[in-house]
Amino acid sequence: MAGKDYYAILGVKRDASETDIKKAYRKLARQHHPDVNPGDKSAEAKFKEINEAYEVLSDKDKRQKYDQFGDQWQYADQFTQSGRQGTRFWDFRQAGDTQSFRFEEGDLDGLFGDLFQGFRTAGSQRRSRSSRGRDIEHPLEVTLEEAYNGTTRILNLEVDEPCSVCRGTGRIQNVACSTCRGSGVETRSKRLEVKIPPGVDNGSRVRVAGKGEPSYGGGKSGDLYLKISLRKHRELERKGDDLYVEVPVPLTVAMLGGNIQVPTPRGKVELRIPEETQNGRTFRLAGQGMPHLGNSSRGDLLAKVKVVLPGKLSEEEKKLFQQLDNLHKDS
């Protein structure tokens, strides 16, 4: 079950970098593109084979599975699961390496039945996906207020696209295209408006369908993924969907009670402080935290009291505090 050697198809070593794989793909795709070889069925077949190899080797997860299981990488999970359960060994070889997997004898019919069913459809599935453009990722920093309310951003992205003159082939009537200098690629600046939903957090990935790298084989474009990072807020700290804030409370308000203003992403709200509130006490403001990404629920805001002592006391104020101290001593 050696199968196809995708590395050999692209003419790269097994430890080739992502950049090397991409360069090799572009060179071969231009050489065997149907537009450059009209009516040549062998070139068309080679072009499909190149796209099939690139689809797998350009994807980190697929490449890892392929390195272990060969061109039946789609069934890696089935192999692995069966390998943990059985009592008999069956060896599969790929590129000179031997991998052993255990299977229950009773599971063989079901396993290989699934595989053979997959073989009948895998070719058509690969053909339909082989020419899809690659997904790209773009970092994007947002403020806490933007993450709270959702926002719209205008992005200027540098994107590799098929040359508009030679349509990505790199050649015009067997002569190198002067526009792209034979590379088949033009780097263009793309202005794009994107919507950021409420509730995003550090590490959130926002998908913008069809705005990734265009296809070099005439298929659909890939997707754009915005990787979100949250700018640090001067007052509020986010933990999940909850917000934390330390609020200064005058000594008199802490002792006698009163109202204070608490900051939130949508403005200040009023909080009633009971009399004789101790320093460090935390109040929970239900529903004043961050929206949960994907639904209407919200976290809470937890306000921690920081009692502020008065400074630069007048003589009269000092006397009053002395009287208060004496009263507590007497009691």
- Clarify whether residues 143 and 172 are in a common domain: yes
In this structure, are 52 and 152 located in the same domain?
Answer: no
Together in a domain, 218 and 257: no
Lowest mean pLDDT among 70-74, 146-150, 188-192, 193-197: 70-74
pTM, entire model: 0.56
Q: Are 248 and 309 in contact (CB under 8 A)?
A: no
Residue 1: inside a domain, yes or no? no
Q: Who has greater pLDDT, 106 or 322?
A: 322
- 229 versus 312: the higher-pLDDT residue is 229
Residue 276 sits in a domain whose CATH number is 2.60.260.20
pLDDT over 60 (residue 316): yes
Question: Do 107 and 219 sit in the same domain of this protein?
Answer: no
The answer to whether position 140 is within a domain reads yes
Confidence band of 331 (pLDDT split at 50, 70, 90)? low
pLDDT band, residue 208 (cuts 50/70/90): very high
27-74 pLDDT per residue, tens? 888 888 777 787 888 888 888 888 888 888 988 888 988 888 786 777
Closest CA to 264 of 226, 236, 233: 236
Tell me: do 11 and 125 sit in the same domain.
Answer: yes
Higher-confidence position of 147 and 89: 147
- Same domain flag for 75 and 154: no
Bridge partners, 194 (sequence order): 153
Buried b (16+ CB within 10 A) or exposed e, 271-296: bebeeebeeeeebebeebbbbeeeee
If asked whether residues 111 and 144 sit together in one domain, one would say no
Total domains in the chain come to: 3
- State pLDDT tens for residues 255-267: 999 999 999 999 9
Q: Say whether both 24 and 110 belong to one domain.
A: yes
Asked whether residue 22 is domain-assigned, the answer is: yes
269 and 324 co-located in one domain = yes
311 inside domain: yes
Residue-level pLDDT at 180? 78
Please indicate, yes or no, if residue 152 is contained in any of the structural domains: yes
Query: Which of 213, 230, 247 is the endpoint of a domain?
Result: 230
Residue 100: what pLDDT? 38
Q: Are 106 and 172 in a shared domain?
A: no
Q: Of 174, 201, 230, at which residue does a domain stop?
A: 230
- Domain assignment of residue 206, given as a range: 136-230
Map tokens 């997997």 to a residue: 101
Name the burial class of residue 23, with classes exposed (0-12), middle (13-18) and buried (19+) by CB atoms within 10 angstroms of its CB. Answer: middle
Q: Is the pLDDT of residue 128 over 80?
A: no
Instruction: Check which CATH number belongs to the domain holding 94 and give it.
Output: 1.10.287.110
Q: In the predicted model, is pLDDT for residue 80 greater than 70?
A: no
The mean per-residue pLDDT over the stretch 324-331 comes to: 76
